[in-house]
Structure 1
Amino acid sequence: MSTTQPTSDARGRNEGDGFYDFHDKDDAAHLHALGYKSEFKRDMSPWANFSLGFTYLSPVVGIYTLFAFALATGGPPMIWSLVIVGVGQLLVALTFSEIVAQFPVAGGVYPWARRLWGRRYAWMTGWVYLVALLVTIASVAYGSGPFIAATFGIDATVNNVIAFSLLLLAVATAINFMGTKVLAKAAIIGFSAEIIGALVVGGWLLIAHREHNIGIIFDSFGAGGDGDYMWAFAAAALIGLYQYYGFEACGDVAEEVPDPGRLIPKAMRRTIYIGGAAATFVCLSLILAVADIPAVIAGEDTDPVSTVLGEAFGPVGSKIILVIVLISFLSCAMSLQAAASRLAYSYGRDEMIMGSSLLKKFSPTRHVPPYALLLAAVVPAVIIVGSKFSTDAITKIISFAALGIYIGFQMVVLAALRARLKGWVPSGKYSLGKWGLAVNIAALVYGVTAMINMAWPRTPDAPWYDNWIVALSAAVVIGIGLVYMVVHPLHDKSTAPYADAIPTK
């Protein structure tokens, strides 16, 4: 077991209640003070750490996937959701920054919730987030299938899409198995390809294929019909809500980054700034290049992205863009796998879940958790194969993914607020100071609002279970987690430190 046993009381508190003078200690000493001896190698540079978060957020994957839906639902003003959500998620990132600076432990939201609240709360936080990550890996890999088929001029049949999806998943897994250094290089390559592609494609569309002036981002073109436009905008805002997560991956690999308490908060903020700016730029260039926006809103043009790219770049140029898109999908899947495997490893290291003896195993040559990585490959592969039997079923399962990630986020934000009210004062290398409480509250208000919007039923003509599918999916995942906690309560036996952010009285 890689966990050391620090001095603690019956509740698992570390001596000093989690308040240490870390500024003069090195990374290993800091981690040891938190109760762990890391097996990872700190081979991930600040640039690579940012690239990991950026490729997880992936502006190309997010915008290209949901552009048609958002434009048809809310018209050009839907682009403002990227700004609104970007500000909201920045508040969440700032809250996370204070936490990771004090607790730079592998696994992200699970260990953060553990230190801020306790074992049971952390178990549920990690469970919801892990399920959401595994499903998201499947959705990204599956989404790449049609693009791979188009790149090689092969029909996108169900079997071909599944085969190509599994191929991309296998490549992402192989990269992760090569270790932190290779993962870091791959993340930088993915970031470079995606940001250059976004700038080149967007710039060319704005220069040579702009059909409208900037003023149309205030014109709904009748989207939403005769009702209140705000309902249409709220629905279209899903493009923003699905776009802005990935920054937390910077903290999932905290034990692989030198000086994480200082560098990871910077990487998180840069992911929001640069990723958000790139996503907004791509979205704007596409909006201004769509010649017939009313046709998109009327459902006559169901794939405006392909229409625009085909007209602007022709067959050869379109192939080049498809390759960039594939690199983006691969980088995104790779980053998601890295995050999910570190979370599963963190669970195993703390002896929190069935199979911990395997999940906590570590490769002494590659410096990665092999069985945790296999989990992040096998479960998504099973979901992808399951799509052959019911493509509708996989759509329903994936509908939970984004909401699940937001739930995991907000459980940490809530835990941080509770800890503050109980006396926690962030003591890491990054602090919001007197603004901490206000930012924390604002982040929670934003997050709850976003989750309500994501789960809100919008298909009144469909059966009730389809209308409420997003909320029901979340309820099922949480319900299964609660049943597991009752039947197999390993979390109560875990001896790793917990709840030490809150000072004793």
Structure 2
Amino acid sequence: MAAAAAAAVMDTKYDAERQASLVGVAEGLASEADAAQLAKLGYKQELRRNFSLFEIFGIAFSIMGLLPSIASTLAYSLPAGPSGLVWGWFVASAFIFVVGLAMADLGSAMPTSGGLYWWTHYFASHKTRNALSFLVGYSNTLGLVGGLCSIDYGFALMFISVIVISRDGEWEPGNGIVYVVFVCCVLCHGVLASTLSKVMGKLQTVFVVANLVLIAATIIALPIGRASQRNDARFVFATGGNLTTWPVGFAWFLSWLSPIWTIGGFDSCVHMSEEATNATKAVPYGILMSIGSCWVFGFVICIVIASCMSPDVDSLLTSAYGQPMAQIYFDAVGKKGALGLMSLLFIVQFFMGLSMLVAVSRQSWAFSRDGALPFSTFFNHVHAKLLIPVRAVWGCVFIALVLGLLCLIAPAAAAALFSLAVAANNVAWGTPIFCRLVWGSSKFVPGPVYTGRFSKIIGWSAIVFLIFGILIAMMPSGGPDPTPQTMNYTVVVNCAVWGGSLLYYFISARKWFTGPKTTVTDVPLTEPQRIGMREQGLEIQGVSNRPGASSVSSAAGVSGSGSGSGSKVEKV
């Protein structure tokens, strides 16, 4: 009888998947292969798949915004000296690539917009899967919003630095001015992300080209401008430093925060899964290509910066222009050249924020689709004409504006936005990898992109690095005895995110959150199937298992009370 029950459930699930995939094809949203792959994960196709592999790579690469991100985080790498800048980038990027390999395994096997919390629920133990999935979903969502805030805050500082340069350093903006520029930037992103949906994929090519133009302009202009004052190879590769009160070795590890933050947008490939063509390959290759290109190009950029910067590192960090990179440009190419390059820099930074908003809105929409966010029934709406989650876009804009109020407090509080993106996303990336290794090895079915026998070694290496990244993101960058002004408030912000998420879950959400839901097309259940499901301990939310009930709600999720795992066989 148990075998018959299992077969009944599988038959029902297959019928649902088949109908869902055909609906996606009929509506012109996706190919049959992509729609069927998504239906296997329990979801019908609702978004149009108009992102190619290169465009999936492009959205991650543009979010990383290589040179603007390096410029925004020089304050973390320069205190370790030029060799800290160069070798810190190279070594940390290598570890980030390992994390990308571990995520590529999962992204190829199960590409869905809510991938991180979905994978967590699928692989975790029966007792922990709902709580961990809830934690990962909130950590990832707020971490991405924190990333959006830090990108747009960096844009505001770069935009203002251009004004300061034009006024020869005789004007110093207050925190209120910075916040006003930040607000204008976020609102512009909201408008563009809502109105350019049909060409957003194509725009990623433009954003990639803009990044490459800025990189080329910098690595050409700086050596020419500093032709008679360039630093030698010994200074670049073998001269350390320590402008902190930490030990020298730990100051070098803190320089890793620059690449950790910069190359932190690769999970956007996962969140765009349901808009990617041939997602089982586009997602993993997008992850690896974006990390790999930033690893190589970033290493070259760091060498050029170390070769052309002033040997007086402290003068760069305390520049009157408010940005070390602005001072480096000014020293190399003068006022007009610095204005031109900084203008291109903040334009590319603006593109970064736009791509980030697109990615975080998809994560938020997916999490709302599964009923986890407040007002989920409002935010899981997909615009009928634009075929994008417009409400989720503006929900993320609102949260970003609220979090951005930290800009008004002090630079240390604003810096917490930077570390929120690092620590929160590290938890969101590491948890599904951990769950797969500890509880889900037998359930993992590789996709077309797979690291094979090295998969487990890569996974554990990724987890160790991610934990280390969380720890250094919470350390005061100046030293072990910070003042209120130099304190790193990441531990406060992130504990509020993690503690608040778990508190919300155990007080309220545990009563109604059962993990990802299925949105496949309605499928009638026969009485033998209904009896079989009851014997398996399965419950269809919102639909009674009593005889006479006729169909599964299209948004119903299924949870099992047996030993199970989070297998999607449990979803109808």
Cα shift at 1:68: 3.7
- Indicate the residue corresponding to 2:132 in structure 1: 121
CA distance in 1, matches of 2:416, 2:246: 28
1:332 aligned onto 2:352: yes
1:387 is paired with a residue whose SS is helix
CA contact (8 A) 1:424 1:503 kept: no
CA distance in 1, matches of 2:319, 2:389: 49
Q: For 1:399, give the aligned amino acid.
A: S
Cα shift at 1:342: 0.9
Which is further off, 208-217 or 229-238? 208-217
1:254 aligned onto 2:263: no
CA distance in 1, matches of 2:139, 2:506: 16
- The within-5 A match list for 1:305-324 is 305-324=325-344
- Indicate the residue corresponding to 1:134 in structure 2: 145
CA distance in 2, matches of 1:443, 1:138: 26
CA distance in 2, matches of 1:60, 1:298: 17
Cα shift at 1:503: 9.2
Which is further off, 119-128 or 219-228? 219-228
- Indicate the residue corresponding to 1:193 in structure 2: 210
1:400 is paired with a residue whose SS is helix
- Cα displacement string for residues 360-394 of structure 1 (whole angstroms, at most 9, x for unaligned residues): 10101111111111111111112224533555533
CA distance in 2, matches of 1:453, 1:226: 15
1:419–1:203 distance in 2 versus 1, CA, 3 Å? farther
CA contact (8 A) 2:111 2:279 kept: yes
**Match for residue 284 of structure 2 among 265, 282, 285:** 265
CA distance in 1, matches of 2:409, 2:234: 46
- Indicate the residue corresponding to 2:465 in structure 1: 446
- The within-5 A match list for 1:321-470 is 321-388=341-408, 392-421=412-441, 423-457=442-476, 459-462=479-482, 467=487, 469-470=489-490
CA distance in 2, matches of 1:86, 1:335: 22
CA distance in 2, matches of 1:465, 1:79: 29
1:36 aligned onto 2:43: yes
Cα shift at 1:356: 0.9
1:93–1:367 distance in 2 versus 1, CA, 3 Å? same
- Indicate the residue corresponding to 2:249 in structure 1: 230
CA contact (8 A) 1:102 1:428 kept: yes
2:443 is paired with a residue whose SS is coil
CA contact (8 A) 1:92 1:440 kept: yes
CA contact (8 A) 1:353 1:491 kept: no
- Cα displacement string for residues 181-239 of structure 1 (whole angstroms, at most 9, x for unaligned residues): 32223322222111111122112323442511222233335436898521221122222
1:491 is paired with a residue whose SS is coil
1:183 aligned onto 2:200: yes
CA contact (8 A) 1:109 1:408 kept: yes
**Match for residue 90 of structure 1 among 83, 90, 97:** 97
CA contact (8 A) 2:382 2:388 kept: yes
Name stretches of at least 5 consecutive residues in structure 1 with no aligned partner.
1-5
CA distance in 1, matches of 2:463, 2:251: 24
Cα shift at 1:83: 1.4
1:303–1:386 distance in 2 versus 1, CA, 3 Å? closer
2:408 is paired with a residue whose SS is coil
CA distance in 1, matches of 2:507, 2:80: 44
1:164–1:225 distance in 2 versus 1, CA, 3 Å? closer
- Indicate the residue corresponding to 2:33 in structure 1: 26
- Cα displacement string for residues 328-372 of structure 1 (whole angstroms, at most 9, x for unaligned residues): 211211122112111111111112232110111010111111111
- Cα displacement string for residues 8-38 of structure 1 (whole angstroms, at most 9, x for unaligned residues): 979xx9679x9xxx9x961111111221112
1:478 aligned onto 2:495: no
Which is further off, 229-238 or 147-156? 147-156
- Indicate the residue corresponding to 2:514 in structure 1: 492
Which is further off, 380-389 or 306-315? 380-389
1:347–1:75 distance in 2 versus 1, CA, 3 Å? same
- Indicate the residue corresponding to 1:3 in structure 2: none
CA distance in 1, matches of 2:372, 2:487: 35
Cα shift at 1:143: 1.8
Q: For 2:130, give the aligned amino acid.
A: R
1:70 aligned onto 2:77: yes
CA distance in 2, matches of 1:116, 1:207: 54
Q: For 1:132, give the aligned amino acid.
A: G
CA contact (8 A) 2:514 2:557 kept: no
TM-score, normalised relative to structure 2: 0.78
Cα shift at 1:250: 1.1
- The within-5 A match list for 1:276-315 is 276-293=295-312, 295-296=314-315, 303-315=323-335
CA distance in 1, matches of 2:557, 2:81: 49
Q: For 2:514, give the aligned amino acid.
A: D
CA distance in 1, matches of 2:567, 2:278: 20
Which is further off, 311-320 or 266-275? 311-320
1:205 aligned onto 2:205: no
Q: Percent identity?
A: 16
1:316–1:462 distance in 2 versus 1, CA, 3 Å? closer
Which is further off, 263-272 or 199-208? 199-208
- Indicate the residue corresponding to 1:163 in structure 2: 180
- Indicate the residue corresponding to 1:105 in structure 2: 112
Which is further off, 163-172 or 338-347? 163-172
Q: For 1:435, give the aligned amino acid.
A: F
1:8–1:334 distance in 2 versus 1, CA, 3 Å? farther
CA contact (8 A) 1:74 1:232 kept: no
- Indicate the residue corresponding to 1:53 in structure 2: 60
1:243–1:349 distance in 2 versus 1, CA, 3 Å? same
1:485–1:8 distance in 2 versus 1, CA, 3 Å? farther
1:351 is paired with a residue whose SS is coil
CA distance in 1, matches of 2:185, 2:483: 35
CA distance in 1, matches of 2:256, 2:451: 29
1:87–1:424 distance in 2 versus 1, CA, 3 Å? farther
CA distance in 1, matches of 2:352, 2:245: 39
1:221–1:431 distance in 2 versus 1, CA, 3 Å? closer
- Cα displacement string for residues 252-301 of structure 1 (whole angstroms, at most 9, x for unaligned residues): 11011110001221111110111222222222111110132355489689
RMSD: 3.2
Which is further off, 181-190 or 252-261? 181-190
CA contact (8 A) 2:38 2:44 kept: yes
CA distance in 2, matches of 1:122, 1:409: 12
Q: For 2:292, give the aligned amino acid.
A: Y
CA distance in 2, matches of 1:331, 1:351: 31
Cα shift at 1:134: 1.3
- Indicate the residue corresponding to 2:541 in structure 1: none
